[in-house]
Structure 1
């Protein structure tokens, strides 16, 4: 399979040389062709290209721009894949193999791209290399193919985009209306997705990107072309780049289990970038969206159930684990009506997460001072406004500010405002958005806790309902509402322990201990529970913290420390009977019972043999044979191995190891042990023949 690598050049010869050299070094010979389209370079690039024998080159008499140049390259390409690559990149070890692995992992994947150090649309990763050599060292360890690191995206960035030729044939060439460049990759991503293809970002593949080298000398042109092409994109598709945003900060606030099929609704979901991120982080999630832009609805509907109406039947009849809200320049806003909808459709333990613009941000204030109205484009909120809206609706609210990069000039403006109002307003001025999370202050939780405390109702039913709430939420509610929170936390733990709800025991006792470390009841309960769970050493540690132990504490201490001693004495008795062949069958039966009931563990057996048995090898072999006969196969080899370590020439041990390993199908290893027997008898020789595959 051949890949046609298409590179456009317009001056910047040094970068072009580095790029091509890296391709030759880090790409399998014969798996690619390089097509250079030169857009009228004047720095010696043309002359250098004419000297190269391994390149296909198109020389343009004028700068035709990126889309047209790429199309010229595609038209002469002979590969099964098309790779658009900027000349200011340096490729790395395994780069193309990894990208191809992802591209051909599914028929519906049309294009893939790598991560880098400098690119748009969340395709960069943090790096700390300081030279190209260090970069290659980093990439060599980073570029390990891993399907778990592939992430579906709404669009890919054109600095490095690998596309199936069949997809190019189906979709067509790049749209040249975006000449000289920018937004042609956004447009092509849309067209690929509309044709039924998925796009994947390969987070297992890194290449270096110097970034916008070709535009640096033409900053004025770039600043003019960017908004012009964004306008063309919006005119063509009816949406802008904001609809593709991925709200990573909101997704990070979701704390559900990855194995749980959570139901997520995104109000103002745009084209679904954030929902796609949720899908990547929570593969079993069921995704829903509400959006009023027809194009965005079509885009997001490829992987989520998206509607334009809050009254949609499937939305109206459903409750969600997570409801997200984004302001994507649409008609949705956080008000009493929307919060009423959220309350009605949020599950009991669900969370509402919103990212909203801050009306107190310094850039908004600058706009106002310059005579503009920044609120025309979207709804904005003050800190107190958004906090009060959620609190009045019955939510427990957490709000944090999202701070973007601030230049020195901008910081001076902020400092002038602070000089007037004080440093307390700094967080408000610097935060461009508020990240808001809210959970319903459910009065039912407090009611359940009160019932449990009063013991006036069926405790098992109360516990069942109570355990549907997150433990962190219950602990917080207890601390905020009970004068004796430690007593209540102990109560919840004890009731759950009695009911067999063991995962709901230690967290409450630990919370009580953190609240009051010297509380006798908490220390006793921790010791009691830990002893029941087999954590005797830790149980002893908590008991030792009790300052004035009473008879009950002393009794528990004796119980914790008596049982292990009794177990050791019983085991020592049985192993000595085994050593001296006393009532052998009865002894074996007693050992089998303890092994099958997990009353004695391997480590304890080995410790007792080591400290209390004379003929250690005999007893270890006997235990191994007992385990083998009873089908306890995972316990056989550890005892035989221990016997072998004591005497590597013991013929009984070597024979038993050979026999057992043959039974387990490890013929080569069995032969190795059997060959160590110095004077093999006929039985040993028979086993050796079996191990070697010879007929008896």
Structure 2
């Protein structure tokens, strides 16, 4: 399988060189070709490109823009996949392999993209590197293929978009009405989804992006083109970019187990970006949405039940674990609150993101003679608080603060001088984030019964830890004892996601409580957080025999495991009592007494023939069905010696077994002197064996 990488250039030669050099260094030779479309560069780029003999190059005699240039590249591309890549990117170890793994994990995935340090639409991750060398070290550890980190998205950003050729053949080329650039990737994402394809963001793959270097020279022109092309997008599809918003803050307010079959309703859902985020976080969730825009309803209907009214028959009569409201379109009034009260489960959460009428920009607009609330619903803090309390809710309201410019800060300072610093939070917050639940009048008696020894565990399961902790704090009776008891009960039945919240709440209330400190250490040790467990134990002022015993257990077991593993791996290396050694290793792996971190430490410090031992570990795991360990060990062996014939054969064999025929063939082809067994495997990988 070959990928055609299409890169547009318009000056910025230094970035282009970095980009191409990184592709050559970090992409498997023979798996790709590079097509450069130069949009009339004048800085030496043309001359440099003409000197390269490993590139296909199209030279334009004027700047035709991004969509047209990409289309020129696509039209001459011969790859099974097309990758649109900005020239201000630096690719990294395993980047293309990881993207391809996701792209071909399902027939209905049409395009994928990586995360980066600089891009729009929630595709950035925090980074702390300060040089390209540091970036590559970061990426090498980050880029570990992991399907659990693949996230479906409504749209992908065009700085790096890998697309199946089949999908391009179905939907056609980029729409050149968006020349010179911007919104052509939004448009292409819409067209892919309308053709039935899913789009995936690969959060297991990172590349560096310098970010819009071609546009930075003329910010005003960039802003003007962005506005014009958004208008073209809206004219074509009937909606704007705001409909694709993802309100991550609202999703974070949903507190539930990841395996829980929640029922979630989003009023004002737009094209479903927030609901899709809910789906990614809670795969078993049943999703419902209310939206007025017909195009947005169609977009979100691919994964949610959508209606144009919250009184639709698909919604009336159902109860929801969470009801979300984006308050730009639908008004938070008594009628809507009556609906929410009727349809929210007793222990459910109402979550809203509501525009703040007191934000500094709104006030400036008023003072300038404008009317910013004429076409949107806006609210004050007291208005929201009053409405929800009247409806019987206990509320938490916080402000969401966007970037504040120097001029805005000056305006805020002026008002704070007049009205006092207490007005700052209101002036700085563009939205209010609201999380509200019904007052739980039955909870406190249940907690009293728990402490008196009654079995009320089943009833308490109807409440979230946040609700219980809030009730305990408000009433402050037997607080620390109850919280410790709840943590112990949850730990005993395996509800591990609830254990630490109770213990941390107890620690915040009384940091020197010996039982809390012991329980924290015990739990953290069982979760493998030995260093943190030690820290909490050290806070106990008068440690008794039980505390000392736990301290010894925490600190002795890792040392014993390392000693035991060193013994086993040395026996494996020198082939001493092989069957007995293999069985012992399998047993330790299955019992989680050893992990890859400890194995790596022992390999680095105590083993001579590391490649041999890694291969042996991979084979042992493969033979005993421990498949999650097989590829990591083989990859580690390959990293140490990419020319080792046994490693290449084992990789080919295992990948063939897993159905990865093309990848298996790629490794087998690297074997310098293939014997009969290798040739047979190669034929099987190519589908040539009889």
Q: Deviations over 1:146-185 (max 9, x none)?
A: 1111111000000000000000000100001101100000
Match of 2:53 in 1: 53
Maintained 8 Å contact 1:478/1:489 = no
* Aligned: 1:473 with 2:471: no
Output aligned runs, 1:437-586, within 5 Å. 437-445=435-443, 464-465=458-459, 467-470=461-464, 472-474=466-468, 476-477=470-471, 480=474, 485-486=477-478
Q: CA deviation at 1:219?
A: 2.2
Contact 1:475–1:489 (8 Å) recurs in 2: no
The residue correspondences of 1:341-420 to structure 2 (distance < 5 A) are 341-420=339-418
- In 2, the alpha carbon distance for the partners of 1:404 and 1:338 equals 28
The answer (yes or no) to whether the contact 1:493–1:505 under 8 Å persists in 2 is no
What's the offset of the Cα at 1:140?
A: 1.1
Partner of 1:178: 178
Q: In the aligned structure 2, how far is the partner of 1:2 from the partner of 1:502?
A: 47
Alignment of 1:199-214 (within 5 A): 199-214=199-214
Asked whether the 8 Å contact 1:263–1:286 carries over to 2, the reply is: yes
- TM-score with structure 2 setting the length: 0.70
With over 3 angstroms needed to count, the CA separation of the structure-2 counterparts of 1:90 and 1:518, relative to structure 1, is closer
Q: Check whether the contact 1:478–1:488 (CA below 8 A) recurs between aligned residues.
A: no
**1:489/1:509 contact within 8 Å kept:** no
In structure 1, the residue matched to 2:278 is: 278
Summarize the Cα distance change of 1:354–1:634 in structure 2 as closer, same or farther, 3 Å threshold: same
Q: Distance in 2 between matches of 1:516 and 1:21?
A: 57
Residues in 1 aligned to 2:288 and 2:393: alpha-carbon distance in whole angstroms: 22
**Residues 455-489 of structure 1: CA distance to partner in whole angstroms, max 9, x if unpaired?**
9xxx77x775455233553454466469xx33998
| Deviation of 1:510 (Å) | 11
Structure 2 distance, partners of 1:218, 1:228, is 16
Moved more, 15-24 or 150-159: 15-24
Change over 3 Å in CA distance of 1:507–1:128 after alignment to 2: closer
Which of 338, 341, 349 does residue 340 from structure 1 map onto?
A: 338
Aligned equivalents of 2:123 and 2:379: distance in 1? Answer: 30
User: Which residue in 1 is equivalent to 2:40?
Assistant: 40
CA distances 1:230-278 after superposition (whole Å, capped 9, x unpaired): 0110111111111111111111111101111111111111111111111
Tell me which residue corresponds to 2:611: none
Segment drifting more, 465-474 vs 161-170:
465-474
* 1:508 positional shift: 9.4
Counterparts in 2 of 1:267 and 1:509: CA distance versus 1, 3 Å? closer
Residue in 1 that maps onto 2:122: 122
- Out of 432, 435, 445, the residue aligned to residue 433 of structure 2 is 435
1:489/1:511 contact within 8 Å kept: no
1:162 aligned counterpart, secondary structure: strand
CA RMSD of aligned residues (A): 3.8
The residue matched to 1:216 in structure 2 has which SS?
coil
Question: Which shifted more, 435-444 or 505-514?
Answer: 505-514
Distance 1:161 1:101 in 2: 14
Matched, 1:235 2:243: no
Shift of 1:29: 1.1
Query: Could you say what secondary structure the match of 2:314 adopts?
Result: helix
Q: Which residue of 1 aligns with 2:91?
A: 91
Aligned to 2:610: none
Return the alpha-carbon distance in structure 2 between the equivalents of residues 286 and 187 of structure 1. 28
Separation in 2 of the partners of 1:18 and 1:282? 40
**Does 1:218 pair with 2:213?**
no
In the alignment, which residue of structure 2 is the partner of 1:148? 148
Q: Distance in 2 between matches of 1:37 and 1:477?
A: 63
Q: Contact between 2:256 and 2:464, CA under 8 Å: does it hold in 1?
A: no
Aligned to 2:575: none
Q: Where does residue 105 of structure 1 map in the other structure? A: 105
Q: Deviations over 1:392-436 (max 9, x none)?
A: 111000011111111222211110111111101011111111111
* Conservation of the 8 A alpha-carbon contact between 1:489 and 1:508: no
| Alpha-carbon distance in 2 for matches of 1:426, 1:36 | 51
Contact in 2 for aligned 1:149/1:203 (Cα 8 Å): yes
Separation in 1, partners of 2:89, 2:423: 43
Give structure 2 stretches of 5+ with no counterpart: 520-536, 547-556, 558-585, 592-622, 625-690
Stretches of structure 1 lacking an aligned partner (at least 5 in a row): 527-540, 546-556, 562-602, 604-632, 639-664, 667-696
Q: Does the aligned pair in 1 maintain the 2:116–2:123 contact within 8 Å? A: yes
Query: Any conservation in 2 of the 1:115–1:207 contact (CA below 8 Å)?
Result: yes
Do the aligned partners of residues 387 and 76 (structure 1) sit closer, same or farther apart at CA in structure 2, a change above 3 Å counting?
Answer: same
CA contact (8 A) 2:300 2:306 kept: yes
TM-score in terms of structure 1 length: 0.69
CA 1:59 to 1:267, structure 2 compared with 1: closer, same or farther past 3 Å?
Answer: same
Q: Is the 8 A contact 2:358 2:427 kept in 1?
A: yes
Change (3 A) 1:510 1:267: closer
Following the alignment from structure 1 to structure 2, what is the Cα–Cα distance between the partners of residues 410 and 314?
45
| Shift in CA distance, 239/449, structure 1 to aligned 2, threshold 3 Å | same
Q: CA deviation at 1:48?
A: 1.4
SS at match of 2:227: helix
Structure 1: distance between partners of 2:480 and 2:113:
55
**What secondary structure is seen at the aligned counterpart in 1 of 2:369?**
coil
Residue aligning to 2:612? none
**Cα pair distance change 1:446/1:366, threshold 3 Å:** same
Distance of 1:434 and 1:391 partners within structure 2: 16
Distance 1:479 1:108, change over 3 A: closer
CA contact (8 A) 2:472 2:479 kept: no
- Does the aligned pair in 2 maintain the 1:399–1:435 contact within 8 Å? yes
Aligned residues: 529
- Give how far 1:516 is off: 9.3
Task: Say if 2:401 and 2:431, in contact at 8 Å, map to a contact too.
Answer: yes
Aligned to 1:157, the other structure's residue is in SS state coil
Shift in Å at residue 507 of structure 1?
A: 10
Shift in Å at residue 312 of structure 1?
2.1
Aligned partner of residue 215 in structure 1, secondary structure? coil
